[in-house]
């Protein structure tokens, strides 16, 4: 049993931070006492009123912003611009409380919230204008998260917490809803150019919006193209926790005429790996330029849009494939740099790539003043490919045909009801349009047959305004998938508003996640029947206080008391319950904003309190564990593996004058104790690519004794300066991950599911400039 030790320093810093927030709040409260009258708004000028933000909603039925029964974060286009974010990952990491972002060695980067994170992004839904954009075969939320092109986004609503009752299967940890610009929100023509150095990239964007002559509706068009070269191994070093051997009969580069050498030849444990053809951090897949196109027309009750995105990234090799350990090497023929021309693969780096094209038609039918029906019809095409270990692992396309009808009825002033249905038809195992020379194949099935699935859904919500102080929300959703039993996701919430300033929300829900299509298909083929979905039962109590027009405070206490985590079983080719995860947490938020200054701080704490591993999924060493959620069942600690229990985020903006604005953001992941526990239990890395089972035998752990660096905190500091000489021109410069100038370990980004590799890669301290001009 390993005892969980937290350093005194870390504890002290957390306590100090909390005290600081508290003291700051108290001081601000004291200062704001006099400006806390309800008629403040009437003292404001029109210019000041135009700067006030009004919250949006996250319910089926319309409601007051303060009554929205969830914790929600909204990121505006001004926030996007101020952050200088180079991807959606980075943007959300900066602004969303208790959201965490980790790398992966052979899948896309992953994001999680409140301790719920997977090896792929299938525990949350990514939406654009309310339409789910998740890939269904293998990856989950994937498209556009890596893109540096963000100029089409008007704002993003992040519903923090489970939301299957509203959004459907997959909304377990959160829902990210990107709302694009349209002719109502953007008029004129604007170009943006961005250039990044050290982590090198180039991006050009143009957007144009115009209203129709009659003032009813209009057209919005956006196009963006980029080139993302990324940061090289010197600026973004990869660090392994073992020493590489120094002798071999092989050359890693066939053109090398020097003495025999190997990747990482002689690199000492903990040294940045330089002696290897390590790809750039953040480099685009296949050197294809990232692309995004969006066109949207609104007219009367019609909303029609089409969208195309293309992207993808290179992976940094995993220990299991770059090298075995000091007792040997992985299968040489399976190494990615050993490029075999017979495979006709012209690239020598691991990568994933995608392209997605979506068409959407929405219409609102107004039957009466208090009765309308929203209709939506949509087609979506998703191409995905993945290349790893000199092998094409995935190359396929999936097509979705989607329809929805939602009736909204307000029978009287107290009741609002929404009820409707959705239908989704998926065609799977289609030929990849971007890579047509490869026949459809995927990780679980190998060569893919063509098949299809259907999802039928019924959903409804009832909002009841009992009186001035009490409002209830009750909703439920039923989903029936070809390869699952009926899935039921209810939610209930009570919102209490005792005063104009105070809001108390009590929320309960059950959310579900159906497994990936490839795994459900594989299970059915293997005679395993329908797949069980992942289930999360949770409750949350949230307090919000609009203390004054300048200061908002919020606190959420949540508990996931029943998260039935499913995991794939290679031996039976089925997915089954691995264990029941239970955790609780606390989120504190404060937002202070004046005409010139804005300061937002949040702290998230998440703690595993139980994990009941299913007896038949328990393993013993050196067998690879069935799940990487925690090493607790094996007696190693009591924390989540892929999670920092504490995370603090701070963003600040100060307008020096009409022309100059300063921006800053700081994110602190306060260490990964659960990851350390896991690697102490299983320090052998995966068997992937092994040519000798003794390589990962119990007597030969990979990780050096006393390896700590991977599990310490991560600290990301960005500073920005904006110059706006006129209404038409804005110039910005942002410095990223600046603490890495002093120590690159401070900027490390850990890998999810390292499988005992214990390695990490640091983000490069970098700089970018941007220029926006409006014609």
Partner 1 sequence: MRIRAYSLIVLALVLFTAMIAPEARADSATSSEYQVKAAFLYNFIKFVDWPKEKTTDGNEPIIVGIIGKDPFGELFEPIEDKPVKGRKVVVKRFKGLKELEESREKNESERHKQIDIIRKCHLLFICRSEKTKFKETINLVKDHSVLTVADTRGFLKSGGIINFIMEGKKVRFEISVAAAKQAKLGVRSQLLRLARRIVEEEQSNEVEK
Residues contributing to the site for partner 1 (CB under 8 A): 37-39, 41-42, 44-47, 49-57, 62-66, 74, 76-77, 154-155, 179, 184-185, 187-188, 210-211, 213-217, 369, 412-415, 462, 464-468, 472, 474, 476, 484-488, 490, 492, 510, 512, 532-533, 535
How far apart are CB 473 and partner 1 at their closest, in Å? 10
Structure-derived torsion over alpha carbons of residues 391, 241, 622, 112, reported in degrees to the nearest 10: -70
Distance (Å) of CA 694 to CA 42, 329, 563, 685, 686: 76, 11, 36, 12, 12
Distance (Å) of CA 641 to CA 25, 617, 722, 751: 33, 18, 39, 10
How far apart are CB 533 and partner 1 at their closest, in Å? 6
- Is residue 493 a contact partner of residue 508, using CB atoms and an 8 Å limit? yes
How far apart are CB 62 and partner 1 at their closest, in Å? 6
What are the beta bridge partners of residue 373?
365, 407
User: Based on CB atoms, which residue is closest to partner 1, 216 or 708?
Assistant: 216
User: Based on CB atoms, which residue is closest to partner 1, 19 or 41?
Assistant: 41
User: Based on CB atoms, which residue is closest to partner 1, 42 or 571?
Assistant: 42
How far apart are CB 155 and partner 1 at their closest, in Å? 5
Residues in the chain, overall count: 775
Q: Is 445 exposed, middle or buried (0-12, 13-18, 19+ CB in 10 A)?
A: buried
User: Based on CB atoms, which residue is closest to partner 1, 535 or 766?
Assistant: 535
Distance CA 688, CA 686 (A): 5
User: Based on CB atoms, which residue is closest to partner 1, 318 or 547?
Assistant: 547
Q: How many of the other CB atoms lie within 10 Å of CB of 660?
A: 13
Distance (Å) of CA 302 to CA 293, 377, 526: 20, 12, 46
How far apart are CB 717 and partner 1 at their closest, in Å? 28
How far apart are CB 216 and partner 1 at their closest, in Å? 5
How far apart are CB 215 and partner 1 at their closest, in Å? 5
Question: 83 CB contacts (<8 Å, ≥6 apart)?
Answer: 90, 91, 94, 95, 651, 663, 665, 718, 720, 734
Give the 3-state secondary structure of residue 695: helix
User: Based on CB atoms, which residue is closest to partner 1, 481 or 755?
Assistant: 481
How far apart are CB 773 and partner 1 at their closest, in Å? 16
- Is residue 728 a contact partner of residue 741, using CB atoms and an 8 Å limit? no
User: Based on CB atoms, which residue is closest to partner 1, 266 or 411?
Assistant: 411
How far apart are CB 50 and partner 1 at their closest, in Å? 6
How far apart are CB 67 and partner 1 at their closest, in Å? 9
How far apart are CB 756 and partner 1 at their closest, in Å? 33
How far apart are CB 184 and partner 1 at their closest, in Å? 6
User: Based on CB atoms, which residue is closest to partner 1, 119 or 184?
Assistant: 184
What are the beta bridge partners of residue 192?
205, 772
- Is residue 682 a contact partner of residue 630, using CB atoms and an 8 Å limit? no
Query: Is the torsion defined by CA of 60, 65, 66, 72 positive or negative?
Result: positive
How far apart are CB 221 and partner 1 at their closest, in Å? 15
User: Based on CB atoms, which residue is closest to partner 1, 180 or 762?
Assistant: 180
Within 334-490, where are the H helices?
A: none
Assigned token pair, 87: 């991807």
Distance CA 146, CA 311 (A): 7
User: Based on CB atoms, which residue is closest to partner 1, 55 or 698?
Assistant: 55
Q: Is 277 exposed, middle or buried (0-12, 13-18, 19+ CB in 10 A)?
A: middle
User: Based on CB atoms, which residue is closest to partner 1, 39 or 705?
Assistant: 39
Distance CA 703, CA 319 (A): 11
Q: Whose CA is closest to 713, among 678, 755, 756, 762?
A: 762
User: Based on CB atoms, which residue is closest to partner 1, 42 or 693?
Assistant: 42
Q: Which helix (H) or strand (E) holds 521?
A: helix 517-525
User: Based on CB atoms, which residue is closest to partner 1, 530 or 621?
Assistant: 530
How far apart are CB 552 and partner 1 at their closest, in Å? 11
DSSP letter string, 147-185: -S--TTEEEEEEEES--HHHH-TT-SSEEEEEEE--TTT
User: Based on CB atoms, which residue is closest to partner 1, 53 or 708?
Assistant: 53
Distance CA 281, CA 237 (A): 9
Give the 3-state secondary structure of residue 486: coil
User: Based on CB atoms, which residue is closest to partner 1, 296 or 754?
Assistant: 296
Q: How many of the other CB atoms lie within 10 Å of CB of 304?
A: 16
Question: 410 CB contacts (<8 Å, ≥6 apart)?
Answer: 370, 371, 416, 417
How far apart are CB 137 and partner 1 at their closest, in Å? 22
Question: 565 CB contacts (<8 Å, ≥6 apart)?
Answer: 534, 577, 578, 579, 580, 581, 627, 629
User: Based on CB atoms, which residue is closest to partner 1, 51 or 616?
Assistant: 51
Question: 128 CB contacts (<8 Å, ≥6 apart)?
Answer: 177, 178, 180, 307, 358
Distance CA 180, CA 152 (A): 6
Q: How many of the other CB atoms lie within 10 Å of CB of 215?
A: 7
How far apart are CB 69 and partner 1 at their closest, in Å? 14
User: Based on CB atoms, which residue is closest to partner 1, 215 or 446?
Assistant: 215
How far apart are CB 550 and partner 1 at their closest, in Å? 15
Distance CA 154, CA 81 (A): 11
Q: Whose CA is closest to 483, among 448, 447, 441, 514?
A: 514
Q: In what side-by-side order are the strands of the sheet with 71-76?
A: 71-76, 153-160, 174-180, 124-128, 131-132
User: Based on CB atoms, which residue is closest to partner 1, 61 or 606?
Assistant: 61
How far apart are CB 537 and partner 1 at their closest, in Å? 10
Assigned token pair, 49: 């009123």
Distance CA 78, CA 99 (A): 20
């Amino acid at each position: 049993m390993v005892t969980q030790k937290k350093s005194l320093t870390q504890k002290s810093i957390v306590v100090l931070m909390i005290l600081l927030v508290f003291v700051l709040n108290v001081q601000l409260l004291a200062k704001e006492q006099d400006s806390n009258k309800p008629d403040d708004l009437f003292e404001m000028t029109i210019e000041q009123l135009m700067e006030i933000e009004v919250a949006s909603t996250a319910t089926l039925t319309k409601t007051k912003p303060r009554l929205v029964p969830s914790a929600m974060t909204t990121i505006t286009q001004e926030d996007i611009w101020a952050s200088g974010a180079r991807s959606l990952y980075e943007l959300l990491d900066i602004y969303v409380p208790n959201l965490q972002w980790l790398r992966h060695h052979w899948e896309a980067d992953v994001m999680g919230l409140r301790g719920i994170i997977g090896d792929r992004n299938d525990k949350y839904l990514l939406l654009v204008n309310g339409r789910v954009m998740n890939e269904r075969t293998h990856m989950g939320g994937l498209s556009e998260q890596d893109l540096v092109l963000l100029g089409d986004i008007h704002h993003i609503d992040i519903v923090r917490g489970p939301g299957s009752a509203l959004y459907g299967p997959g909304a377990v940890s959160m829902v990210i809803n990107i709302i694009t610009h349209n002719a109502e929100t953007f008029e004129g023509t604007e170009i943006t150019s961005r250039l990044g150095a050290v982590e090198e990239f180039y991006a050009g964007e143009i957007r144009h919006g115009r209203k129709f002559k009659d003032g009813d509706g209009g057209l919005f068009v956006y196009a963006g193209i980029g080139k993302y070269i990324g940061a090289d191994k010197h600026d973004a070093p990869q660090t392994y926790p073992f020493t590489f051997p120094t002798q071999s009969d092989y050359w890693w580069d066939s053109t090398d005429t020097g003495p025999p050498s190997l990747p990482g030849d002689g690199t000492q444990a903990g040294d940045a790996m330089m002696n290897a053809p390590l790809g750039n951090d953040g480099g685009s897949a296949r050197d294809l330029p990232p692309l995004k196109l969006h066109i949207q027309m609104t007219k009367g009750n019609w909303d029609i849009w089409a969208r195309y995105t293309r992207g993808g990234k290179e992976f940094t090799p995993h220990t299991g494939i770059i090298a075995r350990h000091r007792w040997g090497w992985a299968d040489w023929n399976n190494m990615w740099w050993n490029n075999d021309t017979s495979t006709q693969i012209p690239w020598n780096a691991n990568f994933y790539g995608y392209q997605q094209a979506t068409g959407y038609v929405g219409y609102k039918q107004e039957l009466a003043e208090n009765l309308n029906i929203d209709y939506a019809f949509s087609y979506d095409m998703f191409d995905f490919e993945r290349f790893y270990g000199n092998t094409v692992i995935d190359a396929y396309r999936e097509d979705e045909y989607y329809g929805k009808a939602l009736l909204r009825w307000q029978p009287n002033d107290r009741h609002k009801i929404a009820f409707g249905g959705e239908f989704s038809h998926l065609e799977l195992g289609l030929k990849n349009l971007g890579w047509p020379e490869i026949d459809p194949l995927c990780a679980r099935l190998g060569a893919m047959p063509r098949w299809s699935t259907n999802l039928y859904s019924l959903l409804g919500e009832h909002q009841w305004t009992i009186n001035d102080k009490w409002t209830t929300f009750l909703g439920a959703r039923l989903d029936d998938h070809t390869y699952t039993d009926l899935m039921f996701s209810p939610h209930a919430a009570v919102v209490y508003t005792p005063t104009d300033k105070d809001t108390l929300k009590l929320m309960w829900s059950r959310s579900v996640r159906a497994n990936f299509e490839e795994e459900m298909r594989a299970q059915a083929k293997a005679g395993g029947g329908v797949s069980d979905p992942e289930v999360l039962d949770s409750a949350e109590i949230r307090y919000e206080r609009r203390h004054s027009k300048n200061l908002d405070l919020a606190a959420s206490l949540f508990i996931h008391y029943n998260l039935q985590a499913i995991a794939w079983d290679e031996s039976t080719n089925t997915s089954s319950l691995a264990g029941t995860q239970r955790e609780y947490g606390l989120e504190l938020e404060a937002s202070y904003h004046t005409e010139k200054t804005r300061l937002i701080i949040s702290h998230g704490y998440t703690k595993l309190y139980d994990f009941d591993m299913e007896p038949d999924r328990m393993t013993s060493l050196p067998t690879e564990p069935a799940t990487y959620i925690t090493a607790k069942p094996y007696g190693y600690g009591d924390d989540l593996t892929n999670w920092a229990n504490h995370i603090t985020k701070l963003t600040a903006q100060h307008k020096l004058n009409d022309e100059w604005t300063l921006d800053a953001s700081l994110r602190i992941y306060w260490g990964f104790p659960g990851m350390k526990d896991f690697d102490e239990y299983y320090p052998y890395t995966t068997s992937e690519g092994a040519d000798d089972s003794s390589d990962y035998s119990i007597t030969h752990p990979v990780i050096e004794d006393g390896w700590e660096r991977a599990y310490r905190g991560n600290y990301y500091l960005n500073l920005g300066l904006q110059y706006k000489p006129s209404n038409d021109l804005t110039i910005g410069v942002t410095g990223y991950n600046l603490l890495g100038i002093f120590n690159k370990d401070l900027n490390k980004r850990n890998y999810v599911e390292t499988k005992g590799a214990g390695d990490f890669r640091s983000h490069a301290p970098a700089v970018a400039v941007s220029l926006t001009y409006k014609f």
